Structure 1
Amino acid sequence: MAEEVNGLRIITLSPFEIHFSQTRIRFEFQDGRTLQTALEETKARDTTFEEEDAILLAPPFPRIEVTRWRCKLRDAEGAPRIDPETGLELYSQEERWFTFDNRRLCCLQRAAAAKWPKKVCCEVYEIPPALARTRELRKFDTRSSGFSVLVGRREAQNLDTWCWRTEVGVPAVQESEPGVVMPGLRRRRPESERQGAGHFRGRRREAKEEEEEAERSFPLQLLRSFLLFMIIYLSLRVCMILWRKYKAGSGTDSVGELENSSL
């Protein structure tokens, strides 16, 4: 029976079985560590996988999360491919393992490619499709069905492409598969209608963001108003105190002059 942590099953897969969910990743992790550094820190030990001798990777980061999913097919520009007969979006013909942790997967695949042709595996968290659908699947934008990924910053002119098949010298998988229509999906509306609806949603989203921003900034505005009031109040108090001292001093001087004149 598979081990579970926080309700998620821990399963063992080959990094080559797992696909990228995004088109591009950066060279470094959020903590500043580069992919190369993580690769160099990845350990390995002997194990048994699918009843064969294998190598189990022990990377310097937590287990990646994977889910079984039919990937939405996209063209080279990133637009969803449409079935000309039904007008519905096309999906991959079979379910595959996809991950939400694309940089970690790239590191694992590089470590596995370095051990080729030995069988390599890693432990991962299996995310149920129902849970994955409510979390990260909206971010799926891969244009290669997850077989490869671009590596580099968004503004870079020439991005590197990582594909484990190219790295180890085996034939690449045909990325432009025919695709199938998923049952229960609605017909994709024409571009003009989507743009109009998108504009309306964009205006509504902007209005909501402005309202939320106003709510967030209200306490700060209130604090600023209070501080301004206190500054003005204290300034007036200081002026009044100085004025009273001045008047008191003037009165004392006048009394002294009268006494001197009487003498």
Structure 2
Amino acid sequence: MKMDFHAKENEDSYTGRAADATWASTMLSVVDPRDKRVVDIGCGGGIYSKAWAKLGAASVTGVDFSSVMLAAAQKQCADEPRISFVQGDALETGLPDGCADIVFARALIHHLHDLRGFFSEVKRLLATGGICLIQDRTIDDCAVPASQTHLRGYFFEQFPRLLEVEAKRRPADRTVRAAMQQAGLAKIERLSLWEVRRVYGTLDELARDLRSRKGRSLLHELTDAELEQLVDAICLKLSGHETISEQDRWTIWIGK
């Protein structure tokens, strides 16, 4: 069963954590967000909208197609007046032309079927001299072998069919680049990022997080029994480790 982003029971799926310093330092190596207008498309629960505000953005507008996700985002960012949220489609946000100095999208494009349409919307939103940063995984990022830090690899060891799911939905680098070029974006670059997703103090804490499926749409492909099997397998692999630092490899596409 695929994740339903509009279901009330999934409201908190993309809340409850903060963006790690590994992410922040990579963003700052590319762009200075101070006093800039940021549009965060596919903002989910607002984790990265809040991160951009903390990096000094003058304003952050989070866009998501799910009213359920936006309700969670508003709670997550209630203490930050520079952040606002609007409901809109990734291909048609409803925002004005040239309203953004930075357009950001994390873990979004693998859900989209029209990348050219998406990047056309990105280009429309960008002001003169603006930049977009698109963070997602290619199939190569997903297929990195499992380790004590790359826990996602254990998903595929235990259930190889999950890698087939990823292969069908993860766009290739050349596909993303082509869509960006067709939309009129220029100076396209690519970075690789190992982002710390979360640090767990105990195996029990990790197990609870996995069982919740929070922030992991892929785990909605598993039944409850299969998920329990996965949790047991990962805990066995990591037995004896007091602290677990979970990291994921991402690709970041940059266009101007």
TM-score (norm 2): 0.23
User: Which of 1 and 2 has higher RCO (CA within 8 Å, sep 6+)?
Assistant: 1
